[in-house]
């Protein structure tokens, strides 16, 4: 059974990861994220954008989780250490409309 990490994203980051431009996702180094991510292994990250039964979502390969400074253009603050989720290939998409 695959272990899935469920995360909600703002549209900008959702679209950047979906397009392959952004290959890492960041979470603050707070107790909440430490408990959810530290020393855990996930096979898949399920990203959603919005709420409701028809919300866009996709599954992507979870490669690794580690701590590091993030990339500013991908939403990280300068000189801040984050829990960083390294992402692989997209496995499945749901309710995603094609670009016009």
Residues 69-75 have a mean pLDDT of: 95
Nearest to 62, CA basis, from 28, 31, 99, 17: 17
79 or 98: which leads in pLDDT: 79
Q: Kindly report, residue by residue over 49-70, the tens digit of the pLDDT.
A: 988 889 999 999 999 999 999 9
Q: Give SS3 for 71.
A: coil
Q: 22-38 pLDDT, tens per residue?
A: 999 999 999 999 999 99
CA distance 57 to 36: 20
Q: For 4-94, CATH number?
A: 2.30.130.30
Return the structure tokens found at 61: 């390969």
How sure is the predictor about 100, in pLDDT bands with cuts at 50, 70 and 90?
low
pTM reported for the whole predicted model: 0.92
């Amino acid at each position: 059974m695959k272990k899935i990490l469920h995360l909600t994203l703002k549209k900008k980051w959702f679209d950047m990861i979906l397009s392959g431009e952004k290959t890492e996702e960041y979470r603050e180094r707070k107790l909440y994220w430490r408990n959810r991510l530290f020393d855990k292994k996930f096979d898949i990250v399920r990203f959603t954008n919005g709420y409701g039964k028809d919300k866009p979502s996709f599954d992507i390969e979870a490669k690794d989780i580690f701590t590091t400074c993030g990339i500013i253009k991908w939403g990280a603050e300068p000189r801040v250490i984050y829990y960083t989720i390294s992402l692989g290939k997209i496995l499945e998409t749901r309710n995603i409309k094609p670009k016009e």
